C-alpha cells in the first residue's frame, strides 16, 4: 500500500467509531471457528494481519493465547486496541507495517490470520510481496486463514477497490510451496444490516502434514 492508503486508514481509525464501520463484528465467530478447525491452541503464536480495531485479540486473550502479534498500517488502530485492552494491553506485540512490502518480522508464526486485507491488494506486485511474506513467515506446520470478498461480494470497500476471490483465483496467487487446504463461505451482516459475501481460505505449506 502506498502513503495515500496509509493516510486513508489513519483517517478512518481517527475519525470513525469502530463499531460503525462496515467490517465491524461484535464477535469474530468465523475467525475463531477456523482456529478450531485447524486445531490451533493457545500455545501457538499468531499474527493478525490488518487487525484494525478487531475484537479478535480480546477473544484470543480470553482463550489463553499469549503469543499474539498485531500488524496494521494504522498507528491509530493499534493504539485504540492497546487502550481498549487496558491492563492486558501489553500482552500483544504491535507492529505498524505494510504487509505488501518485503518485511523483516521478529519470527515465524504458527497462525496467520487476515480477515480482509489481501483483497485490497489490486496490484499484482503487492500481492506477490504479500504472498512472499506469508511463505517466509508462516511456520513449517502452521496455517493461514485469509478472508476476502467472494465473487458475489462488493467490488469496493471503504471507498477503495478490491479484488474478489474464489478457490481457483486464490490458487493462482499462491507461491509454489503453499497450497489451499479448505475454503469456507460466509455472509457478514454489517452494522447497517446490509450483507457482504466473504470467502475464507485455509492455506499451509505443501510439506505440512
pLDDT one-digit tens code per residue, 61-116: 999 999 999 999 999 999 999 999 999 999 999 999 999 999 999 999 999 999 99
CA–centroid distance for 29 within its chain: 14
Give the count of alpha carbons within 13 A of 176, CB side only. Answer: 0
Every domain of the chain and the residues it spans: 3-14+27-195
Residue 185: helix, strand or coil by DSSP? strand
Q: Are 95 and 137 in contact (CB under 8 A)?
A: no
pTM of the model: 0.89
Q: Give the cell for residue 185.
A: 463461505
Per residue in 35-51, pLDDT tens?
A: 999 999 999 999 999 99
Instruction: Give the architecture-level CATH label for domain 3-14+27-195.
Output: 3-Layer(aba) Sandwich (3.40)
Q: Are 121 and 160 in contact (CB under 8 A)?
A: no
Q: Are 164 and 119 in contact (CB under 8 A)?
A: yes
Amino acid at each position: 500500500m502506498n502513503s495515500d492508503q496509509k493516510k486513508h486508514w489513519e483517517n478512518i481509525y481517527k475519525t470513525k467509531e469502530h463499531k460503525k464501520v462496515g467490517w465491524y463484528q461484535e464477535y469474530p465467530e468465523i475467525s475463531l471457528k477456523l482456529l478450531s478447525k485447524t486445531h490451533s491452541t493457545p500455545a501457538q503464536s499468531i499474527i493478525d494481519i490488518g487487525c484494525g480495531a478487531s475484537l479478535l485479540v480480546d477473544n484470543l486473550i480470553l482463550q489463553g493465547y499469549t503469543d499474539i502479534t498485531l500488524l496494521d498500517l494504522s498507528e491509530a488502530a493499534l493504539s485504540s486496541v492497546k487502550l481498549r485492552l487496558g491492563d492486558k494491553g501489553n500482552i500483544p506485540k504491535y507492529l505498524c507495517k505494510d504487509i505488501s512490502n518485503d518485511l523483516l518480522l521478529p519470527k515465524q508464526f504458527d497462525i496467520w490470520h487476515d480477515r480482509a486485507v489481501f483483497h485490497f491488494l489490486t496490484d499484482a506486485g503487492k500481492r506477490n510481496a504479500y504472498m512472499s511474506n506469508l511463505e517466509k513467515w508462516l511456520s513449517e506446520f502452521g496455517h493461514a486463514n485469509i478472508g476476502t470478498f467472494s465473487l458475489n461480494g462488493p467490488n469496493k470497500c471503504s471507498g477503495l477497490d478490491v479484488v474478489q476471490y474464489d478457490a481457483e483465483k486464490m490458487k493462482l496467487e499462491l507461491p509454489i510451496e503453499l497450497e489451499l487446504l479448505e475454503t469456507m463461505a460466509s455472509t457478514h451482516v454489517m452494522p447497517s444490516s446490509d450483507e457482504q459475501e466473504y470467502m475464507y481460505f485455509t492455506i499451509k505449506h505443501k510439506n505440512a502434514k
